[in-house]
Amino acid sequence: MMRKSLIGFGVAGVAAATLLAGCGGNDMADMRHDTTTTALSAASARQDGHNEQDVKFARDMIGHHQQALDMAAMVPGKSTNREVIDLGKRIAAAQEPEIKKMTEWLAKWGAAPSTSTPDTDHGAGHGTGHGSMPGMMTAEEMAKLNGATGADFDRMWLEMMIKHHQGALAMAKTEQGEGASTEAKELAEEIVKAQQAEITEMRGLLK
């Protein structure tokens, strides 16, 4: 009788050990899978060469550029100065493809673009929810600009666009110092060069 009990105990023990081993194997497999997935994600990010600053730069600069486009769109109906009209066209022509490029980066990086909704702080009709962006016009400033015409409009537009460009320069320089994406840092460099030259041009027009 004792022998049968021991045999039964032995069989049960083997079964329990087998069950525990199976569970342990599954847990280990899950852990290995999670570790592998994390490692692959990290490797992918390194290979893609971007960081959180690059994402912030693209999101914020898209919103910043969109307000500049709104300002440029006012020029033909408000200004009679051929130089101001030409500058407005050039700003729009430069910044529209940059918006497209940065939007494509966000998609490639798997980062959602900023929500484009009206923003009472920015007043551009293309709010981004980023109140910290330098150089952005308020709703009151945009309304005042929209209500001006002729020489008054030209002076106000140039002063505002200089301020707007200076904000973009600050954002681009931050990207140059803290970004990881080669493409984004190259665009930041182009923005610095182009908009610094436009600031010099606009200051000359104000004189």
Residue 115: predicted pLDDT: 58
User: In the chain, what are the domain boundaries?
Assistant: 1-48, 49-206
> Which ranges of 49-149 does DSSP label H, i.e. alpha helix?
52-78, 82-108, 139-146
* 90-to-74, 75, 97, 163, 194 alpha-carbon distances in Å: 14, 12, 12, 17, 11
> What does pTM read for this prediction?
0.72
Instruction: List, for residues 144-165, the tens digit of each pLDDT value.
Output: 999 999 999 999 999 999 999 9
CATH superfamily, with its number, for domain 49-206: Ferritin, core subunit, four-helix bundle (1.20.1260.10)
Instruction: List, for residues 46-65, the tens digit of each pLDDT value.
Output: 456 899 999 999 999 999 99
For residue 62, the tally of other CB atoms under 10 A from its CB is 23
More confident residue, 12 or 143: 143
Per-residue pLDDT band at 107 (split at 50, 70, 90): very high
Instruction: List, for residues 171-186, the tens digit of each pLDDT value.
Output: 999 999 999 999 999 9
Tell me the pLDDT of the chain averaged across its residues: 80
Q: With 90 as the cut, is the pLDDT of residue 43 above it?
A: no
Query: What percentage of the chain carries pLDDT values higher than 70?
Result: 68
What residues contact residue 62 under an 8 Å CB cut-off, 6+ apart?
99, 102, 103, 113, 114, 128
